[in-house]
């Protein structure tokens, strides 16, 4: 309570925005774990799971990106967090898409690049979500 009264400018993301954004974390994390499982076991089903999890992650990430653009356009101080958040999310999506193409290769052709990309994309999604949910317009007047 006191926190809110001390920081009245703190932006709370739209619930839909927050949901979309937060969903990217378990999806891309799931893809990473599935890739790890395939890497260790050669069981192809893990690779199939990974492909779909990445596709799902891209859908949610893409929609969250639309909110991020809208925020950026509406922000009074575009530099700083809103921009960093937008760029991070954009990088997540682009690398995620490259990863989806990488995962469209057959069998072990996805390895090891698919695993590396999944780890990077997962990390980016976590940072972008952290930034996005911890106040997009801090320092601004909303």
Partner 1 sequence: MKPSNALALLSITLLLAACGDQDSQFDQPLGAQPQLPEPQRGLLPSMTIAEPTPWNDQVPAVPQGYRITAIASDLQIPRQTLVLPNGDILVAEGRGGGAPKLKPKDVIAGFIKSKGTTSVKSGNRLTLLRDADGDGSYELQTVFADGLNAPYGLALFEERLYVANQDELVRFDYQDGQTRASGPPTRVTLLPSEINHHWTKALTISPDGRYLYVGIGSNSNITERGMAAEVDRAMVWHIDAETGAHKPYATGLRNPTALAIQPGTGQLWAVANERDELGADLVPDYLTSVREGGFYGWPYSYWGQNVDPRVKPQDAEKVAAAIKPDYALGSHVAALGLAFSSEVMGEAFADGVFIGEHGSWNRKEPVGYKVVFVPFSGGRPSGPPVDFVTGFRSDDGKTRGRPVGVTIDPRGALIVADDLANVVWRVTRTQ
Could you list the residues that contact partner 1 (CB under 8 A)?
A: 42-45, 47-48, 51-52, 55, 58-59, 62, 97-98, 100-109, 111
Residue 89 C-beta: closest distance to partner 1, Å: 17
CB of 74 to partner 1, least distance (A): 25
What DSSP designation does 112 have? T
Q: Please identify, using beta-carbon distances, which residue of 37 and 111 lies nearer to partner 1.
A: 111
Q: Measured from the CB atom, is 16 or 104 closer to partner 1?
A: 104
Is the Cβ–Cβ distance between 47 and 38 less than 8 Å? yes
Residue 99 CB, shortest distance to partner 1, in Å, is 10
Say which residues have a Cβ less than 8 Å from residue 126's Cβ, sequence separation at least 6: 25, 29
Closer Cβ to partner 1, 110 or 131, answer by number: 110
Rounded to an integer, what distance in angstroms lies between the CA atom of residue 34 and that of residue 111? Answer: 12
- Concatenate the DSSP letters of all residues of 40-84 into one string: HH--HHHHHHHHHHHHHHHHHHHHHHHHHHHHHHH-SS-TTHHHH
CB of 65 to partner 1, least distance (A): 13
Nearer to partner 1, 9 or 108 (CB): 108
Between CA 56 and CA 64 the distance in angstroms is 12
């Amino acid at each position: 309570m006191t926190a809110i009264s001390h920081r009245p400018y703190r932006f709370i993301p739209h619930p839909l925005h927050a949901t979309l954004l937060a969903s990217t974390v378990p999806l891309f994390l799931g893809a990473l774990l599935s890739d790890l499982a395939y890497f260790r076991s050669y069981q192809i089903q893990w690779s199939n799971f990974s492909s779909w999890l990445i596709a799902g992650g891209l859908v949610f990430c893409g929609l969250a990106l639309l909110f991020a653009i809208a925020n950026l356009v509406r922000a009074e101080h575009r530099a700083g967090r809103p921009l960093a958040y937008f760029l991070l999310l954009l990088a997540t999506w682009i690398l995620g898409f490259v990863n989806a193409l990488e995962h469209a290769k057959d069998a072990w052709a996805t390895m090891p690049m698919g695993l590396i990309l999944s780890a990077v994309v997962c990390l980016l999604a976590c940072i972008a979500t952290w930034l996005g949910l911890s106040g997009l317009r801090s320092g601004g007047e909303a």
